[in-house]
Structure 1
Amino acid sequence: MLLTTTINGRKKEILIKDDDYLLDVLRKEGYLSVKRGCDTGACGLCTVLLNGSPTLSCSTLAARAQGKQISTIEHFPVEAKKFASFMTSEGAEQCGFCSPGFTLTVIAMIKELQNPTDDEIMHYLNGNLCRCSGYVSQLRAIRNFMEEIKNENC
C-alpha cells in the first residue's frame, strides 16, 4: 500500500504493509524522537499529532494516516525549547525519554483547551507516564507555559 501523508509539513509517499503500525513506519523514516515504550498505548512515549490531535502511534495502523498530517516534536522546535525551559525552572527535569510525547500532548492541549483547570490538565495528560519527576512540578511548568503563550498572543 502506498501511504500518502504529510510529516512535519513535508508531503511523503511511503510504501507500507497493511499491518504496519505508525510508530514503526515513522521510525523507519528516521523520526527517532517517536519512542517505543509499552506497545499497548498506555505510556504516551509514542505520541505524535495526527491532524493536530495526540495519537498513540504504537496502536495506530499507519494506513489510518492516509491523507493526514503527522507532526513529531521536530515540527515544534521553538515551542519544545521554550517548554523545556519552563520544565527546568520548575524542577521537573526529566531524562528526556518521555519528553517528546509529553511536550506534543501539552502543545495540542494548549490549542484545544481555553483556561483549563488543574483537573482538566491532568485528565488531558492521562496516559503520559513519567518516572523521573513528580507531576506537581510538571503541572506548575505547564501552567506557567500556558500563561506565557496566552500573554504572547494578546
Structure 2
Amino acid sequence: MSLSLDLAAALNPLVGQTFVPPKTVSVSDASGLTIAVDLISVESLGVACEELSLTVPALGAATLDTLKKWASDLCRRVTYLLENIGPLEFDAQGQQVMIRSTPPDTTTTSGTRYYEVILSLQGGGQFSLRRYHNDGTGNGRTPVPLQITHEQLSKLVNDLLATIPTNP
C-alpha cells in the first residue's frame, strides 16, 4: 500500500471529528518515510490541518543542491493549491530552502495569506507545509488552517514522494 492510501485509511475513521488541540496522524513505510498531519478537523470532503510534514531519512547526507533540486521539482509539480509556489530563500548555513506562494493571496481585505514550505536537511530530509496570514499591521504573521480536499491531500503526498531526490 502507498503512503497516500495508508493516510487515507487512517483519516477515514476520523470523518466528522474536530480536534482541540490538533491530533497528529502519521503513517510510515519500511524505509522510514513518514507523513504526519496535524489535524484540526476531518470532514467527508477534506481536512483542516495546521501542518503537513514528511520525514525522509535517506536525505540525511544530502547537500543544499539536493534540496534546491527537490524544491524546483516540487514547485513544478504542485500546481493545484490556492496559489502557485516557488523557491524564495536558500540557506546554506541552516541547510534549508524556503518556498512560498508566488504571488500570495491579497484578495481579502484583512491582509495576505500564503503557503510556506520548508525543506530542511536537519534530522534527515524534512518537508513542512503550513499556511499563514499577515494582517499588514506589523504584528507579524499567524498560522491559519490549511484546508485541503482528500483528493488534493492524496495527490500532494504522491507528488512529495515522487519528487524526493534519489541521489542525495
- Say yes or no: TM over 0.5: no
Name the structure where strand makes up a greater proportion of residues: 2
TM-score, normalisation: structure 1: 0.29
Name the structure where helix makes up a greater proportion of residues: 1
